[in-house]
Amino acid sequence: MIGAGVIGVAIARELKRRYGGRVLVIEKEDVAGWHASGRNSGVLHTGVYYTAGSLKARLCVEGNRRMRDYCRANRIPMVDKGKVIVTRHEGELPALHELYKRSQANGVRVSLIDQQALREVEPCATTVDRALFVQDTAVVNPQKVMETMVAEAAREGVEFRHGCAWRGAGDDGLVDTSQGRIAYGHLVNCAGLFADRVAHAYGVGTQYRILPFRGQFYLLRPQSRVRVNGNIYPVPDLRNPFLGVHFTRRPEGEVTVGPSALPLLGREQYRGLQGANVSDGSAMVRYLVRLFGRNLDHFRSLAWKELAKMSRRGFYREAKGLADGLELRDLLPGKEPGIRAQLVNTRTAELLNDFVMEHGPKSTHVLNAVSPAFTSSLPFAEYVVNAMKLDR
């Protein structure tokens, strides 16, 4: 297994439980969950957004139920206050009603509520006409989930080798790593931001490339007049893969405001230009030019919106329509950013919305474990293991 993010750990655990044998996870960092799995919003999504019948819808609905049970069983603190999705102008009402329909088709517990009922759930949230209340949305600290899952997998016999980076495909049945060659019977690629590079080395998924987008968060000043019980989300533009800036109360008590989705010039460009490189940078610029030119996925409006969020004022403009009383000074720097590994089809320049998995003769490659893959990780792992072509 390559990668100790939530997907790699969940699959390793599932493989060990189902087949026994030796399961080894190599991870280039010193700890598990160092990237997206430990730096996300920690929201356990419910399946409101996804079209009925999509893999995301199915695995998210089940994943929400299973992850909430998992957190309760393992005493992982959780904010279990649901979420509201609010409209900022009348033009968003059709999309709000579409979300209501999708929720019902996916079996998610939601209700359409008016401003008065909204205030009972979230006293500072504001909406035009109606809002959606989503009962089963919860929030966890993703690092706590990772620590628990890794400890459990290790107890059950999964081996973890940290500081061990996959370097190349090597000869048949061997991988080259930073700690020498390792033999394998079946290789599972859960390398997140690098999953496309690994897959290409096995001749798999060559039509895809990963584009990195940074999600920046602010912390709400504790003295702010804005009170948040659970989550306040905007109606997203359903043509784009991002959900927009939202308020989220974390189990530790603070409230995050974010994330943005800034296109990057490097897969691990967490700060400024650190981590930017020519290969990733030129790929991103090429795709941005293509997407911009063709206005794919309404990319132009998305791009302008995201660029505006590079400044605190732009971020504030995006967030202030969700809750009364927000002031610019309420947005404090704080939470570590996370980087989203977004798959693009290089032939069509289309950003892929659903989870994607591909197989080689002795390998399985998880290529688009985008949000809500954290929520969905437990059934997602079962889905991947069911589909694996193992020589046994």
DSSP 189-227: E--GGGHHHHHHHTT--TTEEEEEEEE--EEE-TT-S--
The nearer residue to ligand FAD, 226 or 381, going by C-beta atoms, is 381
Q: Using CB under 6 A as the criterion, which residues of the chain lie in contact with ligand FAD when the complex forms?
A: 2-8, 26-29, 34-37, 40-43, 45, 165-166, 190-194, 215, 259, 338-340, 369-375
In angstroms, give the least distance from the CB of 218 to ligand FAD: 13
The nearer residue to ligand FAD, 115 or 143, going by C-beta atoms, is 143
In angstroms, give the least distance from the CB of 196 to ligand FAD: 11
Q: Using CA atoms, how far apart are residues 100 and 104, in angstroms rounded to an integer?
A: 6
CA 321 vs. chain centroid, Å, equals 24
- Integer-rounded Cα Rg, in Å, for the chain is 21
In angstroms, give the least distance from the CB of 35 to ligand FAD: 4
Query: Which among 118, 123, 375, 77 is positioned nearest to 253, based on CA atoms?
Result: 77
CB atoms within 10 A of CB 300: 14
Q: At what angle do helices 6-19 and 142-155 cross, to 10 degrees?
A: 30
Ranked by CB distance to ligand FAD, the top (closest) residue is 5
In angstroms, give the least distance from the CB of 313 to ligand FAD: 21
Sign of the C-alpha dihedral, residues 325, 329, 335, 336?
positive
Write down the residue that tokens 């919860």 correspond to: 138
The nearer residue to ligand FAD, 24 or 128, going by C-beta atoms, is 24
β 166-168/350-351 pair status: unpaired
In angstroms, give the least distance from the CB of 73 to ligand FAD: 19
Q: Using CA atoms, how far apart are residues 36 and 354, in angstroms rounded to an integer?
A: 17
The nearer residue to ligand FAD, 128 or 152, going by C-beta atoms, is 152
Query: Which among 180, 158, 160 is positioned nearest to 170, based on CA atoms?
Result: 180
The nearer residue to ligand FAD, 130 or 371, going by C-beta atoms, is 371
The nearer residue to ligand FAD, 40 or 87, going by C-beta atoms, is 40
Q: Using CA atoms, how far apart are residues 173 and 74, in angstroms rounded to an integer?
A: 37
Q: Which value, to the nearest 10 degrees, does the dihedral of the CA atoms of residues 385, 370, 193, 343 take?
A: 100
In angstroms, give the least distance from the CB of 214 to ligand FAD: 8
The nearer residue to ligand FAD, 226 or 338, going by C-beta atoms, is 338
In angstroms, give the least distance from the CB of 210 to ligand FAD: 10
The nearer residue to ligand FAD, 97 or 162, going by C-beta atoms, is 162
Record the tokens describing residue 167, joined without a space: 């370097």
Write down the residue that tokens 């100790």 correspond to: 4
Phi, then psi, of 67 in degrees rounded to 5: -70, -35
In angstroms, give the least distance from the CB of 200 to ligand FAD: 12
Residues belonging to the chain: 392
